[in-house]
Amino acid sequence: MSFSVFLGNLPVWVTADDIQSWLSSENMVADSVKVIRNPETQESKGFAFIEAPNAEEMQAIIRRFDRAPLEDRLLRANAAQPPKPRGQVRPGARMAPRPVKKFKRAKQDPDAPQSAFAEELAKIL
């Protein structure tokens, strides 16, 4: 059984080492800490997962860090949900994109008067 904690609303500068040191200073234990990063930029996405060794430690981490202030924000901590299998659509999501409406372009009458801008552009070209 997994005892994983979701820790969210983190500033982008927070690293796994920072979280480990916070846990150590509170005499809490974590098997692992993973800060989730954007794969292209390697910038933090603002959340992390903490693997606790047991349910009691998981609850202690949640109690300590849920709604804890950090800079100008409140952290969020709760039991992590198991990952959804790839390809699974969340309830209420649209299955397919809406079709794109196509508009017919109005045919330009060559004898119709043009705007002043079009006339100036025609002179330049």
Tens of each residue's pLDDT in the chain, 125 residues? 679 999 999 999 999 999 999 999 999 999 999 999 999 999 999 999 999 999 999 999 999 999 999 999 999 999 998 877 776 666 666 666 667 766 666 566 666 666 676 777 777 76
Range of the domain at 24: 4-79
Residue 12 CA neighbour count, 13 Å, CB half: 7
CATH number for the domain that contains residue 68: 3.30.70.330
- Bridge partners (DSSP) of residue 44 are 37
Residue 40 lies in a domain: yes
> What's the total number of domains in the chain?
1
Residue 18 lies in a domain: yes
